[in-house]
Structure 1
């Protein structure tokens, strides 16, 4: 009898362990523009809240619903950056923490990018200092800033307007003098050119009016291959999808160095009930062997770009030519294995 009880207990423990190593999407009921940084054994996660900056901390990103959280910053009222706080990203640069975000004064025409700095090793501690606006020349409408280092030099990519009116959103790049200052002029490296980048209306799927959007750029590197993955078409539509440009050569500031893939690389799946997947970010598994995409999507058609968007993640595979294969957005009832952890953490 004792042997049977022992076997049942052992079997039950195995089920619990297996369940702890599996997860299903979405990670939270709501959370647009998800971003995660893995540092010192923890994932530091954030998403758009609109009126404040929050940071979550967890060892298991799949268990985000139980993560510790902290209010990092609330904007002072009556400033150029008090409202519509979008797409925050937390980065570690030269041993300091920075959070980049877009904000305005309540008028979308005035959206610009801003940055805070924290010199503490633990972003849940220390003081977050407002460093100011991060602006290129010319200083135009700008959102969705992403910062990265290439050959020991710091760069920023973002979505912006060519002029002062909302004709279309393009992807720009510029070199940075330091984490809060752009050096020199901005350079246009991608703009909407294909039909799948210009969809804007759900009501007439056969003949939707064109909305020219490239936004949410994210840097991705593997084995010396450099990519920028971006979101295309109106976020309020089911057509919202991911596109890709690849660096040819090594001159990031030369527009002709960037080659756009002619088709979207990640889009809706009606079969899997995942709509408008986009505004992604990337992270590696704790053991460093896996690449993952973190993105938001809707569970039903026509839900637009409001609070129905929820964060999801899945593993990236790689094609023989070195390009990423994001596959198809997985359904909500499909169990996935959590990102691979270090061997010593399994003990």
Structure 2
């Protein structure tokens, strides 16, 4: 069985379908929890699957530094290493090199940089990124690209985009023929429509199994991001998956799906869980606030996660205030469950042709705010 995409229904620009892979199906629109260092923080893989996740994201930059790609391959690959037998997407490492690594030097060949962990020197090129991701054994591989932080000048964005397109071509050659594995190209171009369309044209000419919209959620704001998505998806093939990288807040995700995006990832639900920020159908709450101290109600009575089924706000408040590890575990589980519930509801709404009504209800619920204190 190879890699394929079955588009099953549309409602406006919103789409629902299934990405077929040898390791299992990915229902779209899909949210991918981020397992940066071969783990979704504070979660066991079985627990992540229980939330409804079909696919996880791993990080090339972090895994190449620790434990190392060659060591990972010797240990049986990323799936076996972290006990996740289902699909995994790995990013190329380009974004982390630009945002985390120290003393980096960018050339046509690639990037040399010093590790943020121990200062050791490394080189990452399109060819090495493809080699690392093959050693990890990921099912969906991302091209190596440069992602400049916004705001940036048009000249800088254009330079980075055109370099990324040359690197995309080299990534395709280095990826080679790997049946059952997919390679996605990454559209760049900042918030400039002409550059985005030039990037999309170049990627389609090279030919990929799916296409990502990169270089957003890097400081441009939601309005500008949605402005790009209003036209970006029209430049990409309709019969292949579209992936918006690094997004985002629940209303970002809903807006992206509305505009034709099929896949998303973000650290926000797990990171927020560890800091006491909780997402519910009535918006966001902070469990450390004193108003929850004597509240015997669940975080969200409609949620099926263990935090809501078995524990009160008062207990969760106590755990967080006491800096207990169980706080991170339960709140992360809840947030991931909330995100997957949103995805499941959107898939159903698109299939039934009532996405607009679902979206209206979603925003109305978030605007309502948290339930009144006792």
> After TM superposition, is the score higher than 0.5?
no
- Which of the pair is proportionally richer in helix? 2
- Which of the pair is proportionally richer in strand? 1
Say which structure, 1 or 2, has more relative contact order (CA 8 Å, 6+ apart).
2
